C-alpha cells in the first residue's frame, strides 16, 4: 500500500515538472518573438509598442492619368474675327480667339432652330407651305430650299431643307408649325439658350437674316459668340438625328401626290477640303460675313469649332480657316492630363 502511494506521488511530481517545463519553454519562445518583432502564428499583437517591427501595407499603384490633346504654343493665325476650337472628348478648349465677343452669326442660327424643332416636334407631322413664304425669302434676300406653296412635307424632310441648302423658307415653315408663329418660336430659342447658359446669344428670328428698320439700319438683338455656337453644337451633335442631318451631303425627296420632287445639296464645302469633316453649318450676311461652325473626327478624337467673319468677300476663307484650326488641333501632342 505504501509502495502504491509512493508511486502515485512520483507520477504527480513528474506531471507537475512536465507542466512547469512546458510553461518555461513557451515563455522563452514568446520572449524571443517579442524581442524580434515576430508574432507567432495564431496570436494577435494587440499591444504593439513603439520600436516594434510591423508588416508594411502593400502600396497602392499610382494611377496613370489619361493622355489628351494638349496645347503647346499658340494657335496658327487665321482671318476670322473670332474663333473657338473645342475637344468634345475632354471639354478642353484648344483655341479661343476673341471667342466671347457677341457677333452676328447669320445662318449658323439654324443650328438652334433645328435643335429646338427636333426636341419639341413630332417629326412625322406634315406641314403645308403657305403662299407667303417665297415673298418672305425674296424680301430679305435670303437663301432658300425652293419650297413650293401648297406642297405638304414632313417636319423630318423640312429639317434637311433647313440645314443642307440653308433654307430660310424652311426655317419659317418649321417655326410656325412648332410654335404657331415665328415670334413664339424665337421665344423658345432664347429660353433654350438661357437654360444652357449661352449668355452671349440672343435671337430675333429663326433663320439668321438681318432685319432692317425704316432707315435701313440693321435691327439689334441677333447675335452669338464663337464659344456659345461651338458649345451649342457640341450638345446638338449628341442627338443622332441632328448629327445625321448635318453630316448628309445631298438629300433627295421623290415626287409624291403631296409635294414635288426636291434635291438639296449641303452648302458646307469643308467636306471637300477636309475629309475628316462631320458637319455642321455655314452662314453669311453682309453684317456677319462668311461664318462656319464645323466638326471633325480623326484618330478617335472629336473636335468642334467656330469661325465668325472670316471674310466679307471670299466664301472659301471660312473653310480654309477651319481646316487650319483642325489640322493644328489634331496635330497637338498627346500628353498626360494632370
By annotation, the residues acting in catalysis are 107, 110, 166
- Fill in the DSSP letter of residue 256: B
According to DSSP, the residues that pair with 253 across neighbouring strands are 262
Exposure b/e, 158-190, CB count within 10 A at least 16 = b: bbbbbbbbbbbbbbbbbbbbbbeebeebbebbb
Residue 81, annotated as binding a ligand: no
Residue 259: name the closest of 171, 165, 173, 153 by CA.
153
Angle among Cα 294, 295, 300 to the nearest 5 degrees reads 165
| First vs last C-alpha separation in the chain | 93
Residue 266 dihedral angles phi and psi, to the nearest 5°: -70, 135
With a CB cutoff of 8 Å and minimum separation 6, the contacts of 70 are 332, 333, 334, 335, 337
HSE, side-chain direction, 13 A CA sphere, residue 128: 5
Residue 164: name the closest of 78, 262, 25 by CA.
262
Residue 113: name the closest of 221, 51, 55, 185 by CA.
185
Pure H helices in 38-179:
110-120, 133-139, 155-163, 168-179
Whole-number Å distance between alpha carbons of 113 and 158? 12
Q: How far is CA 323 from CA 39, 164, 193, 294, in A?
A: 70, 20, 28, 10
Binding-site residue ranges: 281
Amino acid at each position: 500500500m505504501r509502495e502504491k502511494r509512493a508511486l502515485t506521488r512520483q507520477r504527480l511530481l513528474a506531471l507537475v515538472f512536465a507542466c512547469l517545463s512546458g510553461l518555461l519553454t513557451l515563455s522563452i519562445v514568446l520572449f524571443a518573438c517579442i524581442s524580434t518583432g515576430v508574432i507567432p502564428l495564431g496570436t494577435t499583437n494587440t499591444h504593439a509598442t513603439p520600436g516594434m517591427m510591423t508588416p508594411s501595407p502593400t502600396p497602392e499603384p499610382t494611377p496613370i492619368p489619361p493622355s489628351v490633346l494638349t496645347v503647346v504654343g499658340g494657335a496658327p493665325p487665321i482671318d476670322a474675327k473670332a474663333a473657338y476650337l473645342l475637344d468634345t472628348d475632354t471639354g478642353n478648349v484648344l483655341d479661343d480667339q476673341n471667342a466671347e465677343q457677341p457677333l452676328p452669326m447669320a445662318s449658323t442660327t439654324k443650328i438652334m432652330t433645328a435643335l429646338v424643332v427636333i426636341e419639341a416636334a413630332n417629326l412625322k407631322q406634315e406641314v403645308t407651305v403657305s403662299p407667303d413664304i417665297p415673298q418672305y425669302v425674296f424680301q430679305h434676300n435670303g437663301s432658300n430650299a425652293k419650297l413650293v406653296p401648297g406642297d405638304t412635307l414632313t417636319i423630318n424632310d423640312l429639317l434637311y431643307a433647313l440645314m443642307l441648302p440653308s433654307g430660310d423658307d424652311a426655317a419659317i415653315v418649321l417655326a410656325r408649325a412648332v410654335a404657331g408663329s415665328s415670334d413664339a418660336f424665337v421665344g423658345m430659342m432664347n429660353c433654350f439658350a438661357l437654360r444652357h447658359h449661352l449668355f452671349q446669344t440672343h435671337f430675333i428670328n429663326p433663320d439668321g437674316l438681318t432685319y432692317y428698320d425704316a432707315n435701313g439700319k440693321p435691327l439689334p438683338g441677333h447675335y452669338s459668340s464663337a464659344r456659345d455656337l461651338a458649345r451649342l453644337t457640341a450638345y446638338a451633335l449628341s442627338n443622332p438625328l441632328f448629327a445625321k442631318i448635318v453630316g448628309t451631303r445631298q438629300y433627295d425627296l421623290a415626287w409624291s401626290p403631296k409635294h414635288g420632287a426636291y434635291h438639296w445639296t449641303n452648302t458646307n464645302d469643308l467636306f471637300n477640303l477636309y475629309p475628316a469633316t462631320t458637319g455642321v453649318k455655314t452662314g453669311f450676311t453682309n453684317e456677319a460675313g462668311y461664318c462656319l461652325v464645323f466638326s471633325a473626327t480623326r484618330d478617335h478624337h472629336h473636335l468642334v469649332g467656330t469661325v465668325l467673319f472670316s471674310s466679307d468677300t471670299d466664301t472659301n476663307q471660312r473653310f480654309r480657316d477651319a481646316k487650319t484650326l483642325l489640322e493644328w488641333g489634331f496635330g497637338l501632342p498627346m500628353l498626360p492630363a494632370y
